[in-house]
Amino acid sequence: MHFGGIYEDEIVGKAYDRKLLGRFIRYLRPYRWLVVWSLLLLPLIAAAKLAQPWLIKIAIDSHITTGKMAGLPLLSLEYFALIIVDGLLTYLEIYLLQLLGQKIMFDLRMEVFSHIQGLSSSFMDRTPTGSLVTRVTSDVEVLGEMFTAGIISIIGDILVLIGIVGIMLWMNLKLSLVTFSVLPMLLYIVFTFRLRMRKSFREVRARLSNLNSFLAESIGGMAVVQLFNRQKTEQREFTRLNASYRDANLPVITWDAALFAGVEALSSIAVGLIIWYGGGEIIRGALTFGALVAFIQYMEKFFAPIRDLSAKYSIMQGAMAALERIFGLLDMEKKDLKNKDLPGFENLAGLDSPIETIEFRDVWFAYQNEEYVLKGFNLTIRRGEKIALVGETGGGKTTVTRLLSRLYEVKRGTIFINGCEIHQIPLAELRGRIGVVLQEPFLFSGSLEHNITLGDEGARQRMEEAAALVGADRFISHLPHGFAEEVRERGVNFSVGERQLISFARAVAFDPEVLVLDEATSSVDTASERLIQEGLQGLLTGRTSLVVAHRLSTVRDADRIVVIHKGEKAEEGSHEELMEHQGLYYRLYQLQFKD
């Protein structure tokens, strides 16, 4: 089964909001003027909100209760004007915050995607695709919500709360103290729920990542699922992961509802205390009726942001969980883009001449721990040679090509190019000199031209020549749109052989010095293989090539054939020399051609 532990995404441990937000601040710096304008609007919005109950107090005490209508219409117009100003300023504030959030999400997505491109192949081997997609999409999206209803709007809420407390204390100290008697309980509820909601949101983000990972693989392998009638099995696993995601959301819903209900109850209690104590103060003549109404309105405005705090906490805690996961990914070392921390490797000069020699010197490599798939491997390749690697499946042939391209790093030993340690060569230059054709060709959605050139202008100029050289022009010329033909996802509208020919043309179009063929003809029919072999004769002339082959008939003309057995070089020589030696190569050859 393809599911199981691989989809159990890690739920990160303890994290500190201050550290996460402190690290996040650097994304605000390019847009600091948007932040400044947003902050400048907050006091104006707070003032517009705070002035409204005060105007009502004046209207009641100075006009309504006294029967003086003069000035009341003007006061009403001022009140309506405040409402309009409050609405316009709030609109502008939300617009600026939305704009700021979108800009930061764009930058963060770009950084995360760029970082993923530089992560090691070993990281990709153990990380589900859906988990990475979740971080680039929904995890980043949560941060946008943090801006529109979270991090900066909380500052505005705090300004309003401080203003309300100050006005209420100034209006009537005793009534204010009675009203604020509910605050200790309110603070206890908020901070208690905060801790529990944080843990729940971590689980929600992890379960969503698990679900996306499963979907990405299951949909990608749907043909296999259908051919082997595994729909019910996949449905059961999807049900489990879907239920896990649903169940992870239940505590969030519970704490969210409880927090909202708790704040609502305390708000009602506070209003009741105002009416009880304030009513007595009115009877004794120590408080005006307008002041009591203003107190009630201020208390409603006081609890409004706190009442919304449950939603804002949901957003903020979701954002903290997302930041933990995003920064956790960004903290993954770009092993393939870094060079060994050794003296003399600080300034990488690269190669100033064509590749003359490639030397594997006592190379050891293991994909996991100490389970070595290459053991003390030694091989020297000279310019213009065609070297073939043969041997049993899993013997380490493909690993040799991966180490040469630095998809993986050598554990022990060294690879030299022109006598220069491979890590002294900038990675982009190294891969620019090596063309690789994989056993399983990968095509991108888009045009056929883009799949061959990958957007490179130099490759575009050699595209048609490259296609003709490998025989791909045979079927391209019959396509309705030629090189502009659409390539659907994973190249499903082309046969396996056609996809391989396209990948051949891609490698040739980039005109590499070293050509690596990793069982590249295993998916091509015999006629296509023969045509490719004929086309490659001219291509390989004067060009170094390393060919991993399963069909021994394709490597008989190699300058040297290297037999790899259980990670070690067992034999080396020409086809005739190895056949005469009657060793491993001889036995492999006999097995393939015994009929």
Short-list 593, 111, 86, 544, CA closest to 355: 544
Is the predicted pLDDT of residue 283 greater than 90, yes or no? no
Is the predicted pLDDT of residue 252 greater than 50, yes or no? yes
The answer as to whether 232 is a domain residue is yes
Is the predicted pLDDT of residue 84 greater than 70, yes or no? yes
How many CB atoms neighbour CB 357 within 10 A? Answer: 15
How many CB atoms neighbour CB 177 within 10 A? Answer: 12
The CA distance from 590 to 595, in Å, is 9
The torsion of the CA quartet 372, 375, 376, 382, rounded to 10 degrees, works out to -100
CATH of the domain at 55: 1.20.1560.10
The predicted-structure confidence for 424-471, as pLDDT tens digits, reads as follows 888 888 888 888 887 777 888 888 898 888 888 888 888 888 888 888
The answer to whether the beta carbons of residues 27 and 109 sit under 8 Å apart is no
Is the predicted pLDDT of residue 209 greater than 60, yes or no? yes
Short-list 112, 138, 113, CA closest to 245: 138
Is the predicted pLDDT of residue 521 greater than 70, yes or no? no
Query: What stretches of 241-384 adopt beta strand conformation (E)?
Result: 357-366, 372-382
The CA distance from 210 to 128, in Å, is 9
The answer as to whether 230 is a domain residue is yes
The CA distance from 168 to 299, in Å, is 9
Q: Which amino acid, 199?
A: K
Domain of 301, in residue numbers: 16-336
Is the predicted pLDDT of residue 340 greater than 50, yes or no? no
The answer to whether the beta carbons of residues 2 and 217 sit under 8 Å apart is yes
Average pLDDT over residues 151-164: 76
The CA distance from 337 to 117, in Å, is 10
Residues in the chain: 595
Cα 448 → chain centroid: 27
Average pLDDT over all residues of the chain: 79
The answer as to whether 545 is a domain residue is no
The answer as to whether 432 is a domain residue is no
Average pLDDT over residues 268-275: 83
- The label of the residue with tokens 């909100």 reads 49
The answer as to whether 581 is a domain residue is no
The CA distance from 14 to 9, in Å, is 16
Confidence of residue 535 (pLDDT cuts 50, 70, 90): low
Query: What stretches of 70-155 adopt beta strand conformation (E)?
Result: none
Helix (H, G, I), strand (E, B) or coil at 305: helix
- Long-range Cβ pairs for the range 365-373 (8 Å, 24+): 365/396, 365/399, 365/403, 365/408, 365/410, 365/411, 365/412, 366/411, 367/122, 367/125, 367/408, 372/411, 372/567, 373/399, 373/567
- What proportions of the chain, in percent to the nearest 5, are helix, strand and coil? 65, 10, 25
The answer as to whether 62 is a domain residue is yes
In terms of pTM, does the model score above 0.75?
no
CA dihedral (519, 522, 526, 532) positive or negative: negative
The answer to whether the beta carbons of residues 404 and 546 sit under 8 Å apart is yes
Instruction: Kindly calculate the radius of gyration of the chain based on its CA atoms and give it in whole angstroms.
Output: 35
Structural domain total, the chain: 1
The answer as to whether 540 is a domain residue is no
Highest mean pLDDT among 142-151, 316-325, 375-384: 375-384
Helix (H, G, I), strand (E, B) or coil at 145: helix
- How do 386-390 and 544-548 pair as beta strands? parallel
The answer to whether the beta carbons of residues 409 and 334 sit under 8 Å apart is no
The answer to whether the beta carbons of residues 397 and 374 sit under 8 Å apart is no
Q: What are the two backbone dihedrals, phi and then psi, of residue 65, each rounded to the nearest 5 degrees?
A: -70, -25
The answer as to whether 477 is a domain residue is no
The predicted-structure confidence for 40-69, as pLDDT tens digits, reads as follows 888 888 888 888 888 888 888 777 777 777
